Amino acid sequence: TQLLEQSPQFLSIQEGENLTVYCNSSSVFSSLQWYRQEPGEGPVLLVTVVTGGEVKKLKRLTFQFGDARKDSSLHITAAQPGDTGLYLCAGRHNAGNMLTFGGGTRLMVKP
């Protein structure tokens, strides 16, 4: 059982569509990060959210941290084929500095 559950696991959409990916937990995290991973590469950080209710925007990507700091979402507007990849959320507990990762959402955007 993973502490962080991501949904959906797989998502295939057409270019131009909007989508939302969810990251849920029963645990409270002091901070949460979203990473994007391409085939054959390690994950690369997109954003870190720290405050409950925080919203951060990165071009067409909008990240939100839940008020209770137990969940987060990633919304992509007008998806493009370059958005294709594996999106991972990772949370950090107060007790340590190590990250706990969700199972990932594999996104495919078709032209």
Partner 1 sequence: NAGVTQTPKFQVLKTGQSMTLQCAQDMNHEYMSWYRQDPGMGLRLIHYSVGAGITDQGEVPNGYNVSRSTTEDFPLRLLSAAPSQTSVYFCASKGSTTRTEAFFGQGTRLTVV
Does residue number 50 form part of the binding site for partner 1 (CB under 8 A)? yes
Does residue number 95 form part of the binding site for partner 1 (CB under 8 A)? no
Query: Footprint of partner 1 on residues 11-40 (CB under 8 A)?
Result: 30-31, 33, 40
Specify the residue, 85 or 104, whose C-beta has the smaller distance to partner 1: 104
Q: Which stretch binds partner 1 (CB under 8 A): 41-49, 53-61, 62-70, 76-84?
A: 41-49
Does residue number 1 form part of the binding site for partner 1 (CB under 8 A)? no
If phi over 0 gives left and psi between -120 and 50 gives alpha, with beta otherwise, what is residue 85?
Answer: left
Burial class, 44, CB count within 10 angstroms (exposed 0-12 / middle 13-18 / buried 19+): exposed
Closest approach of Cβ 104 to partner 1, in Å?
A: 5
Determine the straight-line distance between the first and last CA of the chain, rounded to whole angstroms: 35
